[in-house]
Structure 1
Amino acid sequence: MYQYNEVDQKLVDERVEQFRDQTRRFLAGELSEDDFLALRLMNGLYVQRHAPMLRVAGPYNMYNSAQFRKLAHIARTYDKGYAHFTTRTNLQFNWPKLEEVPDILAELATVQMHSIQTSGNCIRNTTTDQFAGVIAEEVEDSRPYCEIIRQWSSLHPEFAYLPRKFKIAISAAPDDRAATQVHDIGLHIIKNEAGEVGFEVIVGGGLGRTPMIGKQINPFLAKEDLLSYLEAIIRVYNMNGRRDNKYKARIKILVQAMGIDKFREEVEAEWAHIRDTDLKLPQEEIDRVKAFFKPFDYDESAAQDNSLEAKLAEDEAFNTWYERNTVAHKVDGYRIAYVSLKPYLKPAGDITADQLDLVADLADRYSFGEIRATHNQNLVLADVKKADLYAVWQVLAEAGLARPNMGTITDMTVCPGGDFCALANARTIGVADQINEKFESLDYLHDLGELKLNMSGCMNACSHHHVGHIGILGVDKKGEEWYQITLGGDDGSDAALGKVIGRAVASDQVANTLEKVVEVYVEKRLEGERFIDTFHRIGMAPFKEYVYAPAN
């Protein structure tokens, strides 16, 4: 994991004091609401329905145990005892007092954390695969390149006020777990025919009011050209993106308006001016950053320990968790373990201060002190010995963090919705509870297999409802909350936007409607076929016909 140097720490410390003065001047009436708006957004501070909301950066999904303990302390001291993980692997505090936010930022700085560029029209937190560095099938660990992008983009003077927010994601494995194709820029680490490692570059993806899948702008970019090419793309966007209408300001709108060929031509022309400048990325710098992410000192004897098999055979509940909530590790004798933030009838992505401390303790004892967040609001302990999995599971189960539902319909990605967000048209937490109650049976749940369900409370699509196998969007109809359902979306390697099944349904009918959708799947699926595969094979018509069939 990257460690700050003196320059990094000084930058973050000075930023805290700068914002402390800005906050003091605003509270004293020396700064207007409009003047303070841009300043607070650049420091991750929003005004929500009930209180300010502070978003803390989780660069490329990574946290360490000291940071989790600090987050737990902040949750207890400045908030209501809990926090919330987002789809950009950041963490949010929903109840801080405005006058105490500078103190929170100062606390964060002591453990190399901050809220810089977690909001505002700038380059946001770069995200990646939660399994980066620990899975066998990846081309190369993506995290060093995320860190290189973070250092380049942090407080970039030219890109502080882009037409709109800007998001980058990187994937290095055949299975895209970073949703790269629905980002402003998606980077795929690949090998060309000569065996050289570089990047396929995707541009113009995004969700929100105008969802789009990104388009390939460069099939193979050399590593040394990474920063100059990114800079060229964002310069073209910065110069040509719309600023007169925030709904048409994202790069996806510009790419659509220009066409990918014309946009590529503009980028190539800009790139020609800057390609051979100090933006060129030398191998020595890549190696320097890679050194922060070198493999841990794994225990070679772990592969000879066969105690896991006995535990799996004697404890059915543990076996279920192992099958659903752990993943193969590239080092023999180790396993990747999920920490579920989708407990029954609790808001998705929420975690209490006590749970933060508990996960920190588990990380220290069993996973080299590191924790990762996923873009669908769970956590990962990436380096657990197989022999330690039973002990880890016992602790997680006792703390309500071991629900064995990863990748199922109840592993929902859900924004806080109208219960918290001032932008939301509808609530989501109660509807999620309704769905949990409907699909509570583990036998039924696991029989359904992989099924991604995403629910957003408004068109901003913070929970990526467009790319859920089943997507749910809360809409307002004359002051009443209704829910629009889409089918067929996907955020993986075969990214696709879901299609609306039909008219919206009332809030108390969402779970019943999903049950009908699932019944069609169960009836029509072939052996071993996932929901999304069945949908692609039979299309929308059978689902629509059954869901909206007249009641007998």
Structure 2
Amino acid sequence: MYQYTDFDRQFVLLRAQQFRDQLERWQRGELTDEQLLPLRLQNGWYIQRYAPMARIAVPYGEISSAQLRMLARIARDYDKPTPELLAHAQATQDQLQAAQPGLTLAAAPLQYGYGHFTTRTNVQFNWIPITQAAEVMELLASVCMHGIQTSGNAIRNITCEAYAGIAEDEIVDTRPFAEILRQWSTLHPEFAFLPRKFKIAFNGAHEDRAATGWYDVGLQAVKNAAGEVGFTVKVGGGMGRTPIIGTVVREFLPWHQLLNYLEAVIRAYNLAGRRDNKYKARIKILVKSEGQQFIDAVEAEYQSIVEQDGAPHTITQAELDRVAASFVVPTLQPANRTANVNPQGQLYQRWLQQNVRGHRLAGMKAVTLSFKRVGFAPGDADASTLEALAQLAEQFSAGEARLTHEQNLMLPWVFESDLPALYEAARQLGLAQPNIGLLTDMIACPGGDFCALANARSLPIAAAITERYQDLDELFDIGPIDLHMSGCINSCGHHHSGHIGILGVDKDGKEWYQITLGGSDGAQLSGPAIGGKVVGPSFSAAEVPDVIEALLTTYRAQRHGGEFFIDTLRRVGHDPFKAAANAARHARQALEEALTE
């Protein structure tokens, strides 16, 4: 993984010290809440439903064992609500539940002492007091971590597909390009206050595993006929209340022009993007409204940068080599812990099938540990688990792990001979569920349990579905399905791109849920990125698990041979599924009426 330099370490430490000064001035009354707002947002500190939320960047998903241990320390020592705050929060949740009976909570609500893995390879904490924010930032800086630009109207954390540098189908390792872009964009003075937040994703493999079509800028690595490396550039993707797939504005951009061209794109957006309405301020709205005019503006700006300014941000081969040298393959040694470990049976074989992937190095594998467990929110890891993950990374993966878009954690440098021992260690931690890519490997945002923007809770719905589908035979019979869930239209749970999407909405002060079908993030299984279509009216919380079951029952009745869910849906259309969803609602309503008579 990336080897941090003395400059990197000094930079994040000084940033932490700067924030401590800002926070202390606020505590003394020298800064108002309004003046502190942009300063804390620039460092990843939100004020959420009950307490501050800290968002920590994990660039391109790579995280070391030392960093995992620091996250464990922060979860254990700082992610703590006061008893009064916890009591207030729990009372609020109880009121919500009492207003909507019928859904059994399968997971304990309002847990604390946890880190939460997000779809953009950030880690979030939900209960750290703002008065301890500076101390936490300094601890993070000690292991070269930070929250810089994880919020605010700036260029956010740069993401890559999780298998960058190890994938068998890789065109080019995009991590060095992502790191160059991270260094260039961090505290960029021209782009510190864009019209709205700006997200960039790289994909370096033939299969798009980074959902590049859904980003403000998506960069797909390609090679031209001469074998030269470049990028197909998509601009203007995004979810939220107006889901749009990015437009290809350059089929082939030579790699050395990456920064010059991105500067042109962001300048055009910074100049013409709307600032009068935050709901229409994202670059996707500008691209949709202006079309070719926007592309022409980008090209004109790019030509000006290259011809008049002398292409000042051209990436030289020497610079690429310098950064790429920080991504060398680590020293690899097998753990050799297989003497007394010999897992047998179908469960282990299924784990090998679902959780273990091939590797570009002979004798190596990439192993995904599942963070979709009964009793836990998707992507949640408590302090003891984070500590154990650090140990697993050291023993089995050269001290490195990676956060994935699907809110799991992957070990990228595992010897094939160590798979039995790793499986047994993961099983003891409850992280060996063979469900990667299956229904219970769902994406879900924290929703109304924590987020002030949410219209409805995501976690109880996720818990109810997870509990209902614990039979592995049934899961494997259903096959691959992307189920994504968001608590509001901001789409942090990427519901638009789910084969099955669930969106929390508010109706008369109560929690309801829209179901969408047929979305895709662009991965090979699902085809090109596309947004799902809404199925009928919204459903109550108690109805959602029944509706999901009805959809899956319809699929199993309609499929041909080994056809996957998404293929059956596209072949037969939405109507049979819509009818099944509505029938499930009526059956549930009839049952509830019978029970109340």
| Structure-2-length-normalised TM-score | 0.89
CA distance in 2, matches of 1:431, 1:12: 38
After TM superposition, the structure 1 = structure 2 runs for residues 219-368 of structure 1, keeping only pairs within 5 Å, are 219-259=251-291, 261-275=292-306, 276-298=310-332, 311=342, 314-368=344-398
Deviations 1:306-329 (A, max 9, x none): x89x946x3332222111111111
Asked if 1:419 is matched to 2:453, the reply is no
Residue 5 of structure 1 aligns with which residue? 5
Please state whether the residue corresponding to 1:455 is helix, strand or coil.
strand
Residue 560 of structure 2 aligns with which residue? 526
Residue 147 of structure 1 aligns with which residue? 179
Please state whether the residue corresponding to 1:169 is helix, strand or coil.
strand
Residue 87 of structure 2 aligns with which residue? none
Alpha-carbon contact 2:373-2:466 (below 8 Å) kept = no
Deviations 1:159-186 (A, max 9, x none): 0000000000000112211111000000
CA distance in 1, matches of 2:133, 2:33: 17
After TM superposition, the structure 1 = structure 2 runs for residues 456-495 of structure 1, keeping only pairs within 5 Å, are 456-493=486-523, 494-495=528-529
Question: Which residue identity lines up with residue 533 of structure 2 in the other structure?
Answer: K
Alpha-carbon contact 1:201-1:220 (below 8 Å) kept = yes
Worse-superposed segment, 404-413 or 181-190: 404-413
CA distance in 1, matches of 2:48, 2:577: 37
Alpha-carbon contact 2:213-2:521 (below 8 Å) kept = yes
Please state whether the residue corresponding to 1:158 is helix, strand or coil.
helix
2:229 equivalent among 189, 197, 206 = 197
CA distance in 1, matches of 2:563, 2:226: 36
After TM superposition, the structure 1 = structure 2 runs for residues 102-181 of structure 1, keeping only pairs within 5 Å, are 102-181=134-213
Question: Which residue identity lines up with residue 171 of structure 1 in the other structure?
Answer: N
Please state whether the residue corresponding to 1:281 is helix, strand or coil.
coil
Deviations 1:210-232 (A, max 9, x none): 11000100000001100000010
CA distance in 1, matches of 2:37, 2:462: 33
Question: Which residue identity lines up with residue 274 of structure 1 in the other structure?
Answer: I
Alpha-carbon contact 1:170-1:180 (below 8 Å) kept = yes
CA distance in 2, matches of 1:531, 1:288: 45
Question: Which residue identity lines up with residue 254 of structure 1 in the other structure?
Answer: L
Asked if 1:444 is matched to 2:474, the reply is yes
Question: Which residue identity lines up with residue 476 of structure 1 in the other structure?
Answer: D
CA distance in 2, matches of 1:65, 1:7: 21
Q: Percent of aligned positions with the same letter in both sequences?
A: 51
Alpha-carbon contact 2:235-2:249 (below 8 Å) kept = yes
CA distance in 2, matches of 1:6, 1:546: 60
Question: Which residue identity lines up with residue 503 of structure 1 in the other structure?
Answer: P
CA distance in 1, matches of 2:451, 2:443: 16
Residue 217 of structure 1 aligns with which residue? 249
Shift of 1:136: 1.3
CA distance in 2, matches of 1:385, 1:248: 49
Asked if 1:47 is matched to 2:47, the reply is yes
CA distance in 1, matches of 2:391, 2:375: 25
Alpha-carbon contact 2:483-2:499 (below 8 Å) kept = yes
CA distance in 2, matches of 1:9, 1:201: 32
Deviations 1:6-54 (A, max 9, x none): 3222221111111111111112221111111111100000001111011
CA distance in 2, matches of 1:70, 1:359: 12
Question: Which residue identity lines up with residue 545 of structure 1 in the other structure?
Answer: A
Shift of 1:62: 0.6
Residue 38 of structure 2 aligns with which residue? 38
Instruction: For structure 1, list consecutive stretches of 5 or more residues without a partner in the other structure.
Output: none
Shift of 1:547: 2.1
Residue 120 of structure 2 aligns with which residue? 88
Please state whether the residue corresponding to 2:436 is helix, strand or coil.
coil
Question: Which residue identity lines up with residue 386 of structure 1 in the other structure?
Answer: E
* RMSD (Å) for aligned C-alpha atoms: 1.6
Please state whether the residue corresponding to 1:508 is helix, strand or coil.
coil
| Structure-1-length-normalised TM-score | 0.96
Deviations 1:75-117 (A, max 9, x none): 1111142211111100011111111100000001111111100
Shift of 1:400: 1.3
Residue 71 of structure 1 aligns with which residue? 71
Alpha-carbon contact 2:217-2:234 (below 8 Å) kept = yes
Alpha-carbon contact 1:345-1:436 (below 8 Å) kept = no
The number of equivalent residue pairs is 545
Please state whether the residue corresponding to 2:190 is helix, strand or coil.
coil
Shift of 1:521: 0.8
Question: Which residue identity lines up with residue 135 of structure 1 in the other structure?
Answer: A
Alpha-carbon contact 2:369-2:410 (below 8 Å) kept = yes
Residue 499 of structure 1 aligns with which residue? 533
Question: Which residue identity lines up with residue 112 of structure 1 in the other structure?
Answer: C
Residue 512 of structure 1 aligns with which residue? 546
Alpha-carbon contact 2:499-2:520 (below 8 Å) kept = yes
